[in-house]
Structure 1
């Protein structure tokens, strides 16, 4: 008998159809709430499982500039997007020498600003600390640091980020606490414990350190599944929405886009998703107008992380 599997289409190859020939799910930008900027892939550390492969030497995504950020803020106004939040991710955002003026540009427009950081040495430089104190004073209640704390225990956190990283991150969080800056935390769900046990562990840590972070609130303590592309996941068809009891409006690309500056590119580009910075099929153009088109859920991360895992980078 002929082996048909050898000639069967591979998963996640056709933007319109699944490997079984079923119509692939698509997500419209129905309610843009967050515009993300990748500030650059350079980072002060190299994690064991960084989805974007950030490191002290990876500059595949260049530092975004204040001028570029201001241009996209102007485009938000022109397109009348109902954006509430501007998010900054990396790499480590505070490696970017323009991070303070970039943040201020967004804050001055009235947006909530969320900065994803490891709270280590780049954030702890005196000029950065001075800038954060000034911004927090000038725009009270508008600025939040989301700290990467992969696990509530030092042992597991350091497995991911290197020996001593947990202590250095807590040092930065202590400074943010004492300075009165708002904090949230991002962790991982890869440690073989239930979500309940994970949140209890974070709650103990926050109580011990006096951090005003609610471990039970998914917006303040975000727990992300591992993004392992080697794991076989189902493709998401149009029929899946009804089967799963979910709406396309609940998926991250219905409410957000991300701006990046690729090495070798003449200008910044807008991506459908924060999780797929290197996938060319998720690059939507250079303007927000171009980025308004629907997104085909044509990647394993779309299924495992967003639709089935229900994760979101925004609060």
Structure 2
């Protein structure tokens, strides 16, 4: 095959696959979950971080309290049926305006889920967390990243001396009556039932109030490797796989990000694609309510085939 007839690379055309088949796309239904990305700076540099958070990566700048407030105003004004506001990063507790962002979301009546490593940055906000949890009972949940129940495996992903501080944070949250969940990974050479039994032993030994058998309480995420081979999703795949496109994140979720140097924060199609310009959907929920072509390996491997959902 000469260059003139070579197939285009996969995931290069928003409408057609490399084989020329019609690419699947997802229609926006309604805003169920709004994610606020507080910035990509993090106290850790994890090996498998899809967003490449680190103490040096500030490609996504700190989200401002006013950015979040603008979204809350639009939700209230237009009656969007938001069930949950998710706070992610980076490490959200490194954002200097995080307490105000949380207060505004909770005061507006929303359930809030914070994704955190529960380490030193969170420790600096313990008083504020206790105050907010007391003022808004039942609205606040913290999901703590714990890649494996074995310290050595966890630290293989998150770096040395990262397990004990995370466990200290989990114990503190549990002892102080916070609603908590945990997030692990499934790429280990271990089946899901074995993973859940291992986490259950750990949580029982540490007296941490998480039911490891509950998939909502212990979320196990599939692999996210944009360089790994994965098939492109065509319109025929919905029927072949028995998959409803309405269950995918981009049907009912959006994420607000502030790119470094940008004048305003904008919305992306989902939490997994913060940097790709083709998934930037503009500054308002109204502008973001549009069709999303599944034109990235994460769409295939994590969402459609992996059944993953950050919410």
1:42-71 CA-to-partner distances (Å, cap 9, x unmatched) read: 111111121111111111111111111011
Over 2 Å off, 4+ runs: 2-6
- 8 Å contact from structure 1 (residues 8, 19) kept in 2: yes
C-alpha distance after superposition, 1:143-183 (max 9, x if no partner): 01100000011010011111111100000111111111111
**TM-score when scaled to structure 1?**
0.96
TM-score where L is the length of structure 2: 0.97
> What are the within-5 Å matches in structure 2 for residues 179-218 of structure 1?
179-218=176-215
Contact 1:79/1:289, CA 8 A, preserved across alignment: no
Alpha-carbon spacing, 1:85–1:223, altered in 2? closer, same or farther (3 Å):
same
**Partner of 1:94 in structure 2?**
93
Which one of the candidate residues 270, 279, 283 is aligned to 1:282? 279
Matched with 1:227 is 224
The residue that corresponds to 1:12 in the other structure is 11
Which range moves more in the overlay, 27-36 or 106-115?
A: 27-36
Tell me the SS of whatever aligns to 1:30.
coil
1:288-311 Cα deviation digits (max 9, x unpaired): 110000111000000000000000
Give secondary structure in 2 for the equivalent of 1:235: coil
Gaps of 5+ in 2: none
- Out of 261, 264, 269, the position equivalent to 1:264 is 261
**Distance apart, 1:31 and its partner CA:** 3.2
The verdict on how the C-alpha distance between 1:159 and 1:138 changes in structure 2, with shifts beyond 3 A counting, is same
Counting matched residue pairs gives 311
| Residues 79, 288 of structure 1: 8 Å contact kept | no
Q: Any unmatched runs of 5+ in structure 1?
A: none
**Aligned mates of 2:195, 2:80 — CA distance in 1:** 36
1:101 Cα deviation from its structure 2 partner: 1.2
SS at match of 2:87: strand
Does residue 302 of structure 1 match 2:299?
yes
Query: Within 2, Cα distance between the matches of 1:32 and 1:206?
Result: 34
Q: What does residue 81 of structure 1 align with?
A: 80
SS state at 1:22 partner: coil
**Structure 1 position 82, deviation (Å):** 0.6
Q: Could you tell me which residue of structure 1 aligns to residue 42 of structure 2?
A: 43
Partner of 1:121: 120
* Structure-1 separation of matches of 2:16 and 2:121: 45
